[in-house]
A and B are shown apart, each in its own frame.
Chain A
Amino acid sequence: MIELFILLVKVFLVMNIALVLGSLCTWIERKGSALIQDRVGANRAGAFIESDKWFVKPALPFVRMMGWLGVINTLLCDSVKGLWKEDFVPEGASKFLHAAAPIIAVLPIMLAFAVLPLAPDFTLFGYYIHPRVAPIDAGLLFVLAMGSVAVYGVAIAGWTGNNKFSLLGSLRAAAQMISYELPMGLVFVALIVVYGSLDVYTIVERQGDLLWGFIPKWGVVMQPVSFVVLLLAGMAETKRGPFDLPEAESELAAGYFTEYSGMKFLLFWLGEFCEIALFALLLALLFFGGWHIPWVKLPEGVWWAALVGHVVLMTKVVFFCLLQIVIRWTLPRFRYDQLMNLGWKMLLPVSLVNLAVTAIIKVLV
């Protein structure tokens, strides 16, 4: 019984961490893009709120601050607006598939969070807790699998749009997502060779050691090429940044979600932002030591150490979210053939050579 309770708490927490990271990315995107483009950005909703109620008054300065920073606008106003918008279904489209597409786009991303650990193991009130929902040994493969299932959401969305822009957008998205999964898989294999384990938890634990006694054994030190490849492939996989061809608004209206409105449209965005967070989490776990602080050894199995580890991990995750968003707003969009060339003629050979070199070094050393 208590096991089931612990599991439910874990599911609740992981879901919420994913969603909070997603909404945080939304806010960073709105306000950060304003900063980058020298605009002010969202700063009105809630900024001038007045009330005489005694139980509201003490919170007013905080609420006004949040309004001024655009938090209320992004998190509250946008979603309420999404809920009240007309739910439009194009003529001749299957109503069921049209509604299912955004759910299929979000669900795999949420599921992928289930196999990633969010803190080191610890004991609380005599119970040993492993902070991960599904401790399966093929965790990295599961993330890849969920990435390929997410293609369906986009494909179905483009098809139910019932117009050429949508279909073209979804074709581009599917081709792009399938192409960039290959270098991503090869990067994972190289990491598995280096750390000798498929399990994400073990990979993170082994990054706590020191190389030659003074350099932390982080993934970025051991596999710098893999890091660059995964960063690029991840950004292409999220269909953002310089790789947002599937929704290129100058060519395709809005690509695969042209015909979506209201909450369904927002679901696609939620999926996208959660995917950013997912890739930030992967980069932090696989390449930047997860919950490890360089040269600092936290005691094992203690709850406060796990909490510190979680905060350290989340700091790294937020940093990589920020990095992806900054890249998205600074670089111009690729042309489609450039995108395919980068994937097949650059990243794939580079990751193959990287894998071969890694394997040779592993055998020799």
Chain B
Amino acid sequence: MSFIEFILGVAALVSGIAVISFRNPLYSAFALVANLLTIAGLYALLNAHFLAVTQVVVYAGAIMVLVLFVLMLLNLKTEQGKQPGLAQLATAVVGGIVLIVTALPPVLSRFQGLSSHQLADNVRASEGTVQAIGQELYSHYTVQFELSSLVLLIGIVGAVMLAKRKQPQLGPRQGGLLKGE
């Protein structure tokens, strides 16, 4: 493990904890951005350049900007003195355990018997270049890839439809402003 990997790993952990410990939702959002960026850095160190850049473009660059703006516009105040109830705590603990139990074994079994060094070398050798990923996407996983793009398209059309439905009443030109009200 190189020095930079160590720093990025620590930063990822610290920012991850910060996401759930800040009282101000906006700071949590910033911590999440930092977390996504550090993980992108870890991807880059594992030679998965494409994954790293995509992480920055999609998560840090697009999704989190929208989240941030919603938070800014709502102007939420810092939660004060509000302790999470027992039910909430129990749900969080059980949910976390379920996630770990279901998600970790398949990942671990894939890399069983490998030290962390070997693991990192394996990941590095598996080539995260654009070419390698493109080759995989368009040869082995063509149908799944095209299907997921179709699902995304449906999502976009749906969002536009939902936004359009209310326009006749709310459009600025039909509203009082331009009719001299």
CA distance A183 to B69 in the complex (A): 22
Contact with A along B33-71 (1 / 0, CB 8 A): 100010000001000011001101100111001001100
CA distance A151 to B66 in the complex (A): 11
Shortest Cβ distance from A149 into chain B, in angstroms? 6
Shortest Cβ distance from A293 into chain B, in angstroms? 30
With A141-B50, A148-B62, A151-B65 given, is the CB distance from A167 to B57 under 8 Å? no
Q: Which residue of A lies closest to B51 (CB)?
A: A138
With A137-B49, A138-B50, A148-B61 given, is the CB distance from A174 to B69 under 8 Å? yes
**Residues 119 to 152 of chain A near chain B (Cβ within 8 Å):** 136-138, 141-142, 144-149, 151-152
| B129, CB-defined interface residue at 8 Å | yes
| A195, CB-defined interface residue at 8 Å | no
A155 touching B62 by the CB < 8 A rule? no
**Residues 88 to 146 of chain A near chain B (Cβ within 8 Å):** 97, 136-138, 141-142, 144-146
Contact with B along A267-282 (1 / 0, CB 8 A): 0000000000000000
Contact with B along A137-176 (1 / 0, CB 8 A): 1100110111111011001101100000001000100100
| B150, CB-defined interface residue at 8 Å | no
CA distance A144 to B54 in the complex (A): 10
B130 touching A152 by the CB < 8 A rule? no
Shortest Cβ distance from B54 into chain A, in angstroms? 7
Q: Which of B33, B44, B129 contacts A152 (CB 8 A)?
A: B33
Query: Is the contact region of chain B dominated by helix, strand, or loop, or is it mixed?
Result: helix
**Residues 248 to 286 of chain A near chain B (Cβ within 8 Å):** none
B57 touching A144 by the CB < 8 A rule? yes
Which residues from chain A contact B65 at a C-beta distance below 8 Å? Answer: 148, 151-152, 155, 174, 178
Which residues from chain B contact A45 at a C-beta distance below 8 Å? Answer: none
Which residues from chain B contact A141 at a C-beta distance below 8 Å? Answer: 50, 53-54, 57, 130
CA distance A174 to B129 in the complex (A): 30
CA distance A148 to B26 in the complex (A): 19
A145 touching B130 by the CB < 8 A rule? no
Q: Could you tell me which B residues sit within 8 Å of A by CB distance?
A: 26, 30, 33, 37, 44, 49-50, 53-54, 56-57, 60-62, 65, 68-69, 72-73, 129-131
- Of the A-B pairs whose beta carbons lie under 8 Å apart in the complex, a sample of 26, sorted by A's number, is A136-B53, A137-B130, A137-B131, A138-B49, A138-B50, A138-B53, A141-B54, A142-B53, A144-B57, A145-B56, A145-B57, A145-B60, A146-B56, A148-B60, A148-B62, A148-B65, A149-B56, A155-B65, A155-B68, A155-B69, A156-B30, A167-B72, A167-B73, A171-B69, A178-B65, A198-B130
